[in-house]
Chain A
C-alpha cells in the first residue's frame, strides 16, 4: 500500500515581489519519507521549505498539508545568535507560547523537555548555556526543540551547513534514528556527497523540480548539469554515487623561488 501523502504541492509558484523564487513545482511527500532537496544557491530550496511550513504563501498553484499533520521547522544553525543569554532548557520550552503564558517552566514541561533531550543524547545538558555546547550538540538542541512538539514531519533547512565532518555524521545518524521512529523528514542541503547521497530520496531543484528519485536514479551527470548549470562527473563507490565537480578550474601550486 502506498503511504498517504502528507504534503502536496500542485503547480506551486512563489515570488518575492516580481522575483520568482519557485516556479510550477509539483511535489508529494508521503508519510515516512526521508527527502533531501538539493540545488544551487538561489534555487528556491529554502522558499519551498518556507511554503511547506506556511511562512510563504504560493503566488500560484497550491500547497496542502494533510489535516492533523504536525510540522516542526529547524532553521539553519548558522543564523542562531549563540551568545544570546539562554540555557538549553529555555531554548526548548520558549516555543510553547500557547496555553501557558507564565514565565515559569511547569514540572510537566520540564519533564517533557528533559525526556526529549535525553532521547537526543543531550541528557544532563539542560542547564548549560547554548554556547558551551559542541557543534553537534548545538544542532541537536534545535532538533530537540522541534521534537518537543511531537511533530509528524520535521522540516530542516541545511542541517549540516557549516559543520565539521564529525558533526555531519552525528546529525545524519540522529535524523536516521528519528526517521526509523516514524518521523517524516524533509531537508535542504548543499552537501551532495556527505548528506544527500545517503538519503533514500532526493529532489533536484532549480526554481522548479528537475528530478525526483533515489540517489542512484537522480545523481547523474545530465541531471546535475541541468540542476547546477555546470558539468559534473559521477563515480560509484561502495554502491553509492560520488559527485565530482569536473568543471572546477585547476589552481596551480605557487612557484617556489629558491
Chain B
C-alpha cells in the first residue's frame, strides 16, 4: 500500500525523466562543486548561471537550439569571467557582477520584447520538471561522463592547480588551461541542469553538497565521493517529496540539501564549522 503510494508518481514519464535528470544533475553539481568551493568560485558559479539565462533567452527568441545557443553564450561568459577573475583588472566580484547581470538583463529584455515572456522566464529561472525531455537525459548523461573522465584523467593536475597554482604553473602545469577547462565544464553543467533546477537555484546545488563534504572530511579525494553522493541523494529525495508536497521540484531539492547541510553543521560541531569557515569567497 505504502510502496504503491511512493511509486505513484513513477507512472508518469515526465516524472521518471525528471528524477533521472535531477539525480544525475545533483551528482554532477556535487563533483564540480568541490572545485567551485575550494577555489573560491562560489560567486562565479552563481553569476555564470545568470549569464547562461541570457543565452537561453536569446536562443529561444531567434529559434536556435537551446543547447547550442545557451551553450555558446555560457561557455563564452565562463571563459570571460575566468579571465577577468584571474587578471584582476577590476575587483573580480564587481567584474563578475557586471558581466553576469548584464547577460541576465539581456535575457529578460529579449523575452519581454519577443518571447512568451512569463512562461519561459519562470521555467528557466525556477526550473520545471514538466519541461524535461529525453534529450535532457542524454545531455546530462553526456556532460556527467565527460566531467567524470576529465576529473579522473586529470585528477592530479586539477588538484595541484587548485591547491598550489603558483608552483603548478612553474612546474609545467598550464593553470590557465585548467581554469578554462573548469569554466567550460561549469558552463556545460549549468546548461544541462538549468531546465530542472533553474538558474536562480543552481548555484546552491554547486555549493551546498561540496560544503557538506568539506565539513565531513579533510580529504580532497573523499570530498569527490561525498559531494556527488549528497547532491544525488538530495535531488532524488527532493524530487519525490515535491510530488507529494505539491511544491516546486527545484525548491524542494535545495531545501533537502540545505537540511543535510544543517544536520552536518550540527553533527560535525566546531571541527566542521572551522573547515567551512576557512573556505575562500568570490
Interface residues of A (CB under 8 A from B): 50, 53-55, 73, 75, 79-81, 83-87, 90-91, 93-98, 100-103, 129
Contact = CB atoms under 8 A, between A and B. Distances in A.
Interface residues of B, number: 32
B90 interface: no
B113 to A, nearest CB: 43
A10 to B, nearest CB: 22
Contacts of A96: 156
12 contacts: A81-B278, A81-B280, A84-B38, A84-B220, A85-B220, A90-B221, A95-B160, A96-B156, A100-B156, A101-B153, A101-B156, A103-B156
Contacts of B83: none
Interface stretch (B45-53, B134-142, B166-174, B252-260): B166-174
B217 interface: yes
A100 B153 CA distance: 9
B76 interface: no
Nearest to B152: A103
A85 B217 contact: yes
A100 B160 CA distance: 14
Contacts of B170: 50, 53-55, 73
A83 B278 contact: yes
Interface of B: 38, 152-157, 159-160, 162-164, 166-167, 169-173, 214, 217-223, 274-275, 278-280
Contact of A101 (B155, B164, B278): B155
Given A73-B171, A75-B164, A75-B166, A85 B157 contact: no
Most buried by A among B153, B156, B221, B274: B156
Interface SS of chain A: loop
A26 to B, nearest CB: 23
Given A85-B218, A90-B220, A95-B167, 15 more contacts: A50-B170, A53-B170, A73-B167, A84-B162, A84-B163, A86-B159, A86-B163, A87-B218, A87-B219, A90-B221, A94-B156, A97-B156, A97-B160, A102-B155, A103-B152
Closest 4 CB pairs of A and B: A83-B278, A103-B155, A55-B170, A129-B218
Interface SS of chain B: helix
A86 B220 contact: yes
B273 to A, nearest CB: 12
Nearest to B160: A94
Contacts of A102: 152-153, 155
Nearest to B275: A83
Contact of B166 (A79, A84, A91, A94): A79
B218 A94 contact: no
A97 B214 contact: no
A80 B166 CA distance: 10
A97 B164 contact: no
Contacts of A53: 170
Contacts of B223: 85
A93 B221 CA distance: 13
A94 B159 contact: yes
Contacts of B221: 90, 103
A93 B155 CA distance: 11
Nearest to B155: A103
Contacts of B278: 81, 83
